[in-house]
Amino acid sequence: MKKIKLAVVPGDGIGVEVVPRALRVLDTIADIHGGLSFEYEHFDYGCDYYLKHGDMMAADGMDRLRASDGIFLGAVGDATKVPDHISLWGLLLKIRREFELEINVRPAKVFKGIQSPLLNPKDFDLVVVRENSEGEYSSVGGRMYHGDNEIAIQNNVFSKRATKQAMDHAFKLAESRRRHVTSATKSNGIFHSMPFWDEVFKETATEYEGIDTVSQHIDALAATFVTHPERYDVIVASNLFGDVLTDIGAGIMGSIGIAPSANLNLNGKHPSMFEPVHGSAPDIVGKGIANPIGQIWTAKLLLDHHGEVAMGNLLLDTMEQVTAEGFLTPDVGGDKQTDEVVEALIRKLKSKA
């Protein structure tokens, strides 16, 4: 029996609603598989934990998470309790940083049964590879002076190693897809980092045969992403550009509630982390209407990562059948509760067993 030991961090807001439901789906998948099981260790880290303990996680929290085969996270952040930069840097970004989760893979495609807001959506299917450890999210900088003279300085950091690694990941992914990589740049306006980004992209491109490449400024890219998403296969982007692009990707799929992500550790020293693209959605907490698909599709990425691609495909294909039958939460135009969608999915999965 293959056992995957998951550290489960539901976090805040709707994370607490969608994570347990996605675990039930994973257990159903394990039953169908027959030779696979999941073991869960639950962690109540989040903003309530902070209010009780003065920190977002226990002192030995990172060691305990490290002992897992993967981290399954919901969402972090409740600004009514803890300022976002404290909660995020104390949990989500801390894990990304300390576990060297330097690549964030975020797919977007036409999701069967969910109406894209685009008028005539062509059949797009793309993946954004987001550099996940540095760039605009560096902790280099500071604040000085006071009052009207106050200055905030935020230095962007682009290392050759992490930049090249993100690009290599994108090219390797493209080799197994439609062999096209777009680089999201802004070398016309950002003086140091983006020309450097372009150079690394050009250099990387010479190392892969038969892959078409395009370098596109992020502003123009953002527009084409909406008007012609079908033109993209793999997009490699810096941390912040990738963050914004993947919410646009979620938007053109129909809702931020359905987009998944995988934060990958590539050096084998730490577990990878799987979390949806969306946040804690404070405006719908407790209403029972959170779209569970982001968390469930994220479970598919986890299955893929652990070599269970057939099971991952079964999960996503079945999810799309369920949405095509009309099991839709309000964010995607339906009137179903989270539980009704999840129950319908589990029923259909069991019927295929």
What is the binding site for ligand IPM (CB under 6 A)?
A: 88, 92-93, 243, 277, 279
Contact predicate 253/116, CB 8 Å = yes
Q: Are strands 260-264 and 272-276 parallel, antiparallel or unpaired?
A: antiparallel
Q: Which amino acid is at 311?
A: M
CA distance 216 to 264: 25
Site mask for ligand NAD (CB under 6 A), range 240-259, x = bound: ----------------xx--
What would the two tokens of residue 40 be?
Answer: 């869960």
Q: Rule CB under 6 A: is residue 84 a binding residue for ligand NAD?
A: yes
- The nearer residue to Mn ion, 135 or 334, going by C-beta atoms, is 135
CA end-to-end span of the chain: 18
Residues forming beta bridges with residue 83, ordered by sequence position: none
Q: Indicate which single residue of 100, 168, 308, 331 sits in contact with ligand NAD (rule: CB under 6 A).
A: 331
- The nearer residue to ligand IPM, 32 or 86, going by C-beta atoms, is 86
The residue ranges of DSSP E strands in the chain, in sequence order, are 2-11, 36-42, 70-75, 103-109, 125-131, 141-144, 151-154, 180-185, 212-217, 234-237, 260-264, 272-276
CA distance 163 to 237: 9
Q: Rule CB under 6 A: is residue 275 a binding residue for ligand NAD?
A: yes
Q: Rule CB under 6 A: is residue 82 a binding residue for ligand NAD?
A: no
- The nearer residue to Mn ion, 8 or 250, going by C-beta atoms, is 250
Q: CB nearest Mn ion: which residue?
A: 243
Return the closest-CA partner of residue 25 out of 310, 351, 314, 346.
346
* Closest CB 150 distance from ligand IPM, rounded Å: 24
Sign of CA dihedral 317, 321, 323, 324: positive
Q: Indicate which single residue of 134, 233, 243, 320 sits in contact with Mn ion (rule: CB under 5 A).
A: 243
- The nearer residue to ligand IPM, 204 or 238, going by C-beta atoms, is 238
CA distance 39 to 62: 18
Q: Rule CB under 6 A: is residue 328 a binding residue for ligand NAD?
A: no
What would the two tokens of residue 200 be?
Answer: 């690394």
Q: Rule CB under 6 A: is residue 342 a binding residue for ligand NAD?
A: no
* Closest CB 336 distance from ligand IPM, rounded Å: 26
Q: Indicate which single residue of 271, 279, 312, 334 sits in contact with ligand NAD (rule: CB under 6 A).
A: 279
* Closest CB 122 distance from ligand IPM, rounded Å: 26
Say which DSSP state 187 is in. Answer: T
Sign of CA dihedral 39, 43, 44, 46: negative
Tell me which residues in 13-32 interact with ligand NAD (CB under 6 A). 14
Tell me which residues in 98-157 interact with ligand NAD (CB under 6 A). none
- The nearer residue to Mn ion, 251 or 288, going by C-beta atoms, is 251
Q: Residue 282's binding partner, choosing from ligand IPM, Mn ion, ligand NAD, none, with beta-carbon cut-off 5 to 8 A by kind?
A: ligand NAD
Q: Indicate which single residue of 133, 246, 280, 318 sits in contact with ligand NAD (rule: CB under 6 A).
A: 280
Q: Indicate which single residue of 263, 291, 318, 323 sits in contact with ligand NAD (rule: CB under 6 A).
A: 291
What would the two tokens of residue 303 be?
Answer: 């299955």
Residues forming beta bridges with residue 141, ordered by sequence position: 154
CA distance 95 to 234: 25
Which residues lie near Mn ion (CB under 5 A)?
243
Which residues lie near ligand NAD (CB under 6 A)?
14, 75-77, 79, 84, 88, 92, 256-257, 275, 278-284, 290-291, 294, 331
